[in-house]
Amino acid sequence: MNTERVLIIKLNEHIEGEQKLKERVSSAWKINLDTVYKKNITHVVAMYHQQVIADYTIDDQMGYYLTGDDAGRVWFNLKDYDGDQPLKGKTFDYKTANPATTKILSELMELEVK
């Protein structure tokens, strides 16, 4: 059984442009950095209306904002996804109020809408 975890970022607006989308997905999320690090999460997807609109890999850095409006929120350096389980274009029946969650990949795949 595949126990790889995916970080799911749910967006509440459609963002035009690949660079703007990557910038939005990489910044200011309320999730525990230890969760991402200890569970070895490297795959990040951006979802809009339950459809994956972008696939990323966490690159070489991630951290917390220490001050300002985003204090306590997590940021990531992202690059285009380079793994073997791309999810871009897939739709999932995945409902959660939290905009940043993690899910085991095999469990997420069971929620795919075909």
Question: Under DSSP, is residue 18 helix (H, G, I), strand (E, B) or coil?
Answer: helix
Distance CA 76, CA 27 (A): 6
Which domain covers residue 37, as residue numbers?
A: 5-113
pLDDT of residue 2: 65
Contacts for 60-64: CB closer than 8 Å, 24+ residues apart: 62/33, 62/36, 62/37, 63/33, 64/33
pLDDT of residue 114: 87
Distance CA 19, CA 64 (A): 22
pLDDT of residue 3: 81
**What is the tally of structural domains in the chain?**
1
DSSP assignment, residue 29? B
Q: Tell me the pTM.
A: 0.92
What pLDDT tens digit does each residue of the chain (114 aa) get?
A: 568 899 999 999 999 999 999 999 999 999 998 989 999 999 999 999 999 999 999 998 999 999 999 999 999 999 999 989 999 999 999 998 899 999 999 999 999 998
